[in-house]
Amino acid sequence: MFSREPRAPIEVHVFGLPNFLVIEAGETMMIRENRSVWIDSANIADDPGPFCMSFAFDLGVLADSIKKIGLLNPPYVIGKKQGQGFEVVSGYRRVLAVKALGWEKVLCKDISNSVTSPLEYLVFNLYDNLATRTFNDVEKGMILCRLDPLVPRKEILEEYMPLLGLPSHEPTLEVYLRVPDLALEIKEAFARGQLSFQSVRALEDMDSLSQSQVFKWISELKFNFNQQRQFLEILVDLALKDGISVFEFLAKEELSRYLEDPIENRPQTAKRTLQALHELRYPRLTRAERIFREKVANLNLPEGAILKAPAYFEAPGYCLEVRFRDGKSLKRKMEALLNIKQLANLDDAWVEKE
């Protein structure tokens, strides 16, 4: 392990930060007096503090790197107001890593005298991170949440959201602003890309019990994004219709058995669960689909002939698809079709014949 000696104070020029600081030289921000100082690790706050934008990171990789080649980029800190210890502005993960490695002192840049407002600290950290990595969705929520009290909404929408790779769309902003309030396990899944944005939006509108129960279902059955969407949409509709919470709805015996007592493998259980919900939400449509399937099965169509209904039976009529090898086989199949007497009775799918 090797460490670096403090270097002479340097002047840092940061370009292209229109919202950043008052500026002494046109659009160039000068950070002066960013003193390099050795600070006792114990004097640096352990908590993420108000400027942190890191979530669900792997400290091990960073710690290994520091162990091998040292701390290349010092964390930026400011003195706490009460004069006791330091708060991390940028480099929270590095601080955690060196603490984990047992370093007693850390070489930091103290920017207490050069940057003075919470917004400036926040933007400093944002651009410092942006230059080196992409943010996960929870981190984006943390950043927007921290900017929200300090920056006009319009500016967040027009400048910061595109910077984070998000659309300038107020409802999207609202979803991200509520992300930090979600339970840790949900945030971790969102950060890892296991939960879709739409799922998170739906979860945010639920009470905490429902949130955790839904999350349990999604994670145990490993629903993909499309399945998550179906699951949540139907679930919310059914719970609202019954006037109960999603938590209460999922506790119903007819559903809970899928999770508590699965008789099939996970993908099959996931499929069965969605089917059960679909039947509860769309009883008449499901019945019509069943009747149609039965009617078609009773026709005994020749091999290679498929009778299809339009989506949701909305458009009029049906579609017959016949696969054939050559003209002779087509003729045979057509003759077989013409001889199916029950074809004449094929009518509305939803009408069940006695």
Pick 183 or 240: Cβ nearer other proteins: 240
**Residue 319 binding other proteins, by CB under 8 A:** no
Quick one: which of 117, 51, 37, 133 has its CA closest to 85?
A: 37
Place of tokens 């929870």: 138
CB of 231 to other proteins, least distance (A): 16
- Going residue by residue from 191 to 210, which x/- string records binding to other proteins, judged by CB under 8 A? --------------x-----
**Residue 316 binding other proteins, by CB under 8 A:** yes
- Distance from C-alpha of 330 to C-alpha of 322, rounded to nearest angstrom: 8
- Where does this chain touch other proteins (CB under 8 A) — which range of 102-110, 111-119, 262-270, 312-320? 312-320
Pick 225 or 324: Cβ nearer other proteins: 225
- The three-point CA angle 230-184-144 to 5° equals 85
Place of tokens 């449509």: 285
Phi-psi region of 87 (alpha: psi -120 to 50; beta: other; left: phi over 0): beta
56 by Cβ neighbours in 10 Å (0-12 / 13-18 / 19+) ranks as middle
- Where does this chain touch other proteins (CB under 8 A) — which range of 82-90, 132-140, 216-224, 282-290? 282-290
Answer for which of 284, 328, 341, 353 binds other proteins (CB under 8 A) is 284
**Residue 290 binding other proteins, by CB under 8 A:** no
**Residue 127 binding other proteins, by CB under 8 A:** no
- The three-point CA angle 69-73-78 to 5° equals 140
**Residue 312 binding other proteins, by CB under 8 A:** yes
What does each C-alpha distance from 300 to 9, 287, 339 come to in angstroms?
Answer: 86, 21, 11
CB of 126 to other proteins, least distance (A): 25
- The three-point CA angle 220-221-227 to 5° equals 135
Pick 95 or 309: Cβ nearer other proteins: 309
User: Which H, E and C letters describe 61-105, residue by residue?
Assistant: HHHHHHHHHCCCCCCEEEECCCCCCEEEEECHHHHHHHHHCCCCE
What does each C-alpha distance from 48 to 54, 141, 302 come to in angstroms?
Answer: 8, 15, 69
Answer for which of 192, 241, 252, 257 binds other proteins (CB under 8 A) is 241
Pick 35 or 281: Cβ nearer other proteins: 281
CB of 313 to other proteins, least distance (A): 6
CB atoms within 10 A of CB 35: 15
- Going residue by residue from 163 to 182, which x/- string records binding to other proteins, judged by CB under 8 A? --------------------
CB of 281 to other proteins, least distance (A): 7
> Bridge partners of 86?
44, 79
Residues 60-119 that bind other proteins (CB under 8 A): none
The β-bridge relationship of strands 76-79 and 105-110 is parallel
**Residue 239 binding other proteins, by CB under 8 A:** no
**Residue 240 binding other proteins, by CB under 8 A:** yes
- Where does this chain touch other proteins (CB under 8 A) — which range of 4-12, 56-64, 235-243, 337-345? 235-243
Residues near other proteins (CB under 8 A): 154, 205, 237, 240-241, 281-285, 288, 311-316, 348, 350
